[in-house]
Amino acid sequence: AQKITQTQPGMFVQEKEAVTLDCTYDTSDPSYGLFWYKQPSSGEMIFLIYQGSYDQQNATEGRYSLNFQKARKSANLVISASQLGDSAMYFCAMREENYGGATNKLIFGTGTLLAVQP
């Protein structure tokens, strides 16, 4: 069964420094997608970045990059030049393919709470 593991319950980072949030996944499906979402205290899940299992290059979106290591089944999120507004919960998620037609089902990890300190 598909599974997402986030082993860091909480992380601290100084403003303007880079931080890496860990994510490992388990799937036997050769085709899958990996996502990172940010959830501020308001509750809304904000899409940050996507990596397809067949993508040759690591995804980047502004200050966000995804360190995709397929052989190790890891998809770590790197946030460069942290800002105070980056303080939030971060979730790694995998899109389960070929799920009886519900090809858009997302499986989430338990999240990492990031606190950016001034």
Partner 1 sequence: ETGVTQSPTHLIKTRGQQVTLRCSSQSGHNTVSWYQQALGQGPQFIFQYYREEENGRGNFSPRFSGLQFPNYSSELNVNALELDDSALYLCASSLVLAGAETQYFGPGTRLLVL
Which residues contact partner 1 by CB under 8 A?
Answer: 4, 33, 35, 37, 42-47, 50, 91, 93, 95, 97, 99-111
Here the tokens at position 79 are 């946030």
Q: How far is the CB of 118 from partner 1 (least distance, A)?
A: 26
Give the residue among 42, 46, 39, 32 at the shortest CA–CA distance from 4. Answer: 32
**Closer residue to partner 1 (CB): 64 or 108:** 108
**Helix (H) / strand (E) containing 57:** none
Q: Which is nearer to partner 1, 13 or 94 (CB)?
A: 94
**Rounded least distance, CB 17 to partner 1, Å:** 26
- For strands 10-14 and 33-39, give the pairing: unpaired
Q: Which two tokens stand for residue 13?
A: 């980072």
Instruction: Kindly tell me which of 6 and 65 has the beta carbon lying closer to partner 1.
Output: 6
Q: How far is the CB of 86 from partner 1 (least distance, A)?
A: 18
Element (H, E) at 10: strand 10-14
